[in-house]
Protein backbone atom coordinates (compact mmCIF):
# COMPACT_ATOMS: atom_id res chain seq x y z
CA UNK A 1 0.00 0.00 0.00
CA UNK A 2 1.25 3.49 -0.74
CA UNK A 3 2.27 5.81 2.07
CA UNK A 4 -0.31 8.36 3.22
CA UNK A 5 1.00 11.80 4.15
CA UNK A 6 -1.05 14.64 5.63
CA UNK A 7 -0.02 18.22 6.21
CA UNK A 8 -1.52 20.29 9.04
CA UNK A 9 -3.97 23.00 8.01
CA UNK A 10 -3.50 24.88 11.24
CA UNK A 11 -2.82 24.61 14.93
CA UNK A 12 -5.01 24.32 18.03
CA UNK A 13 -4.25 26.58 20.98
CA UNK A 14 -5.42 25.44 24.42
CA UNK A 15 -4.51 26.12 28.05
CA UNK A 16 -3.17 22.55 28.41
CA UNK A 17 0.62 22.41 28.17
CA UNK A 18 1.08 18.90 29.60
CA UNK A 19 -0.90 15.68 29.16
CA UNK A 20 -1.65 15.53 32.88
CA UNK A 21 -3.43 18.91 32.64
CA UNK A 22 -5.76 17.97 29.77
CA UNK A 23 -9.20 16.47 30.47
CA UNK A 24 -9.90 12.90 29.35
CA UNK A 25 -12.64 14.21 27.03
CA UNK A 26 -14.01 17.65 26.21
CA UNK A 27 -17.39 16.84 27.77
CA UNK A 28 -15.61 16.81 31.15
CA UNK A 29 -14.24 20.32 30.56
CA UNK A 30 -17.09 22.32 29.12
CA UNK A 31 -15.52 25.54 30.44
CA UNK A 32 -12.17 24.87 28.73
CA UNK A 33 -11.71 27.34 25.89
CA UNK A 34 -9.22 27.44 23.05
CA UNK A 35 -8.60 28.73 19.57
CA UNK A 36 -8.28 26.97 16.28
CA UNK A 37 -5.90 28.89 14.03
CA UNK A 38 -6.09 27.94 10.37
CA UNK A 39 -3.12 28.77 8.23
CA UNK A 40 -4.07 31.75 6.02
CA UNK A 41 -4.12 29.74 2.79
CA UNK A 42 -7.02 27.67 4.18
CA UNK A 43 -9.09 30.47 5.75
CA UNK A 44 -11.45 30.73 2.78
CA UNK A 45 -12.65 27.23 3.70
CA UNK A 46 -14.25 28.66 6.86
CA UNK A 47 -17.03 30.29 4.81
CA UNK A 48 -20.43 29.43 6.36
CA UNK A 49 -18.94 27.65 9.40
CA UNK A 50 -20.36 30.25 11.81
CA UNK A 51 -23.83 28.71 11.39
CA UNK A 52 -22.80 25.55 13.24
CA UNK A 53 -22.84 25.21 17.03
CA UNK A 54 -20.33 22.33 17.18
CA UNK A 55 -17.40 21.15 15.09
CA UNK A 56 -15.43 17.93 14.78
CA UNK A 57 -11.69 18.58 14.91
CA UNK A 58 -9.31 15.95 13.54
CA UNK A 59 -5.75 16.35 14.71
CA UNK A 60 -2.37 14.72 15.18
CA UNK A 61 -1.34 13.57 18.66
CA UNK A 62 2.01 15.33 18.24
CA UNK A 63 3.46 14.22 21.59
CA UNK A 64 2.60 10.54 21.21
CA UNK A 65 5.58 8.22 20.91
CA UNK A 66 5.06 4.72 19.65
CA UNK A 67 1.86 2.83 20.25
CA UNK A 68 0.38 0.27 22.60
CA UNK A 69 -2.14 -2.27 21.32
CA UNK A 70 -3.22 -3.09 24.88
CA UNK A 71 -3.61 -0.18 27.31
CA UNK A 72 -5.37 0.86 30.50
CA UNK A 73 -7.81 3.67 29.71
CA UNK A 74 -8.04 6.67 32.02
CA UNK A 75 -11.68 5.87 32.81
CA UNK A 76 -11.22 2.19 33.60
CA UNK A 77 -9.14 -0.18 35.72
CA UNK A 78 -8.86 -2.98 33.15
CA UNK A 79 -6.56 -3.15 30.16
CA UNK A 80 -8.31 -2.80 26.80
CA UNK A 81 -7.44 -3.03 23.13
CA UNK A 82 -6.36 0.39 21.84
CA UNK A 83 -9.11 0.35 19.20
CA UNK A 84 -11.69 0.03 21.98
CA UNK A 85 -10.31 3.21 23.57
CA UNK A 86 -9.49 6.79 22.64
CA UNK A 87 -5.91 6.48 23.91
CA UNK A 88 -3.39 8.69 22.12
CA UNK A 89 -0.64 6.07 21.62
CA UNK A 90 -2.07 4.54 18.45
CA UNK A 91 -0.54 3.10 15.26
CA UNK A 92 -1.77 6.28 13.54
CA UNK A 93 -1.90 8.95 16.26
CA UNK A 94 -5.01 10.72 14.99
CA UNK A 95 -7.35 12.32 17.48
CA UNK A 96 -10.77 13.86 17.19
CA UNK A 97 -12.82 16.07 19.43
CA UNK A 98 -16.26 17.58 19.22
CA UNK A 99 -15.95 21.21 20.27
CA UNK A 100 -18.45 24.01 20.73
CA UNK A 101 -18.03 26.94 18.34
CA UNK A 102 -18.35 30.34 20.00
CA UNK A 103 -17.12 32.60 17.23
CA UNK A 104 -15.17 33.14 14.04
CA UNK A 105 -12.63 35.91 13.53
CA UNK A 106 -10.84 35.69 10.19
CA UNK A 107 -8.79 32.50 10.25
CA UNK A 108 -9.43 31.87 13.98
CA UNK A 109 -12.20 29.94 15.65
CA UNK A 110 -13.06 30.49 19.32
CA UNK A 111 -14.01 27.05 20.65
CA UNK A 112 -14.95 25.37 23.92
CA UNK A 113 -14.88 21.86 25.35
CA UNK A 114 -11.22 21.53 24.31
CA UNK A 115 -9.29 18.49 25.50
CA UNK A 116 -6.19 18.56 23.34
CA UNK A 117 -2.73 19.90 24.15
CA UNK A 118 -1.60 23.38 23.19
CA UNK A 119 -0.05 23.64 19.72
CA UNK A 120 -1.73 20.45 18.48
CA UNK A 121 -1.46 20.20 14.67
CA UNK A 122 -4.91 20.43 13.05
CA UNK A 123 -5.62 18.02 10.17
CA UNK A 124 -9.25 18.83 9.35
CA UNK A 125 -12.48 20.45 10.52
CA UNK A 126 -15.94 19.04 9.90
CA UNK A 127 -19.27 20.46 11.01
CA UNK A 128 -21.15 18.43 13.60
CA UNK A 129 -24.57 17.75 12.05
CA UNK A 130 -27.04 16.10 14.40
CA UNK A 131 -28.90 14.33 11.57
CA UNK A 132 -25.66 12.65 10.47
CA UNK A 133 -23.76 12.33 13.72
CA UNK A 134 -26.22 11.62 16.55
CA UNK A 135 -27.22 7.97 16.89
CA UNK A 136 -30.00 6.19 18.76
CA UNK A 137 -29.79 2.70 20.31
CA UNK A 138 -26.07 3.07 20.99
CA UNK A 139 -24.11 0.47 22.95
CA UNK A 140 -21.15 2.00 24.77
CA UNK A 141 -19.21 -1.26 25.27
CA UNK A 142 -17.01 -1.35 28.37
CA UNK A 143 -17.72 2.36 29.03
CA UNK A 144 -21.19 1.38 30.27
CA UNK A 145 -19.72 -0.24 33.38
CA UNK A 146 -16.52 1.80 33.88
CA UNK A 147 -16.53 3.01 37.49
CA UNK A 148 -14.76 6.30 36.78
CA UNK A 149 -17.11 7.14 33.93
CA UNK A 150 -20.12 6.56 36.16
CA UNK A 151 -18.69 9.16 38.56
CA UNK A 152 -18.44 11.66 35.70
CA UNK A 153 -21.97 10.89 34.49
CA UNK A 154 -23.31 11.72 37.95
CA UNK A 155 -21.36 14.98 38.26
CA UNK A 156 -23.46 18.08 37.50
CA UNK A 157 -22.36 19.75 34.26
**What does the mean pLDDT of the chain come to?**
89
Domains recognised in the chain with CATH numbers: 10-153 (2.40.30.70)
- What confidence category does residue 69 fall into, taking pLDDT thresholds of 50, 70 and 90? very high
This prediction's pTM: 0.88
DSSP class per residue in 45-93? GGTTGGG-SEEEEEEE-TT--S--SEE--TT-SS-EEGGGS--S--SS-
Mean pLDDT on 111-134: 95
**14-62 pLDDT tens trace:** 999 988 778 777 677 778 899 999 999 999 999 999 999 999 999 999 9
Kindly tell me if the per-residue pLDDT of 126 is higher than 60.
Answer: yes
DSSP class per residue in 111-144? EES--SPTTEEEEEEEE--HHHH--SS---GGGG
Q: pLDDT at position 148, please?
A: 63
Amino acid sequence: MEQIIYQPIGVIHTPFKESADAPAQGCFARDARGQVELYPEYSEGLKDIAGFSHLVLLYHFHRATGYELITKPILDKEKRGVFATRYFKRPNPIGFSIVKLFGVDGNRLDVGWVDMLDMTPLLDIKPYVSLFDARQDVCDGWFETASELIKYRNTPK
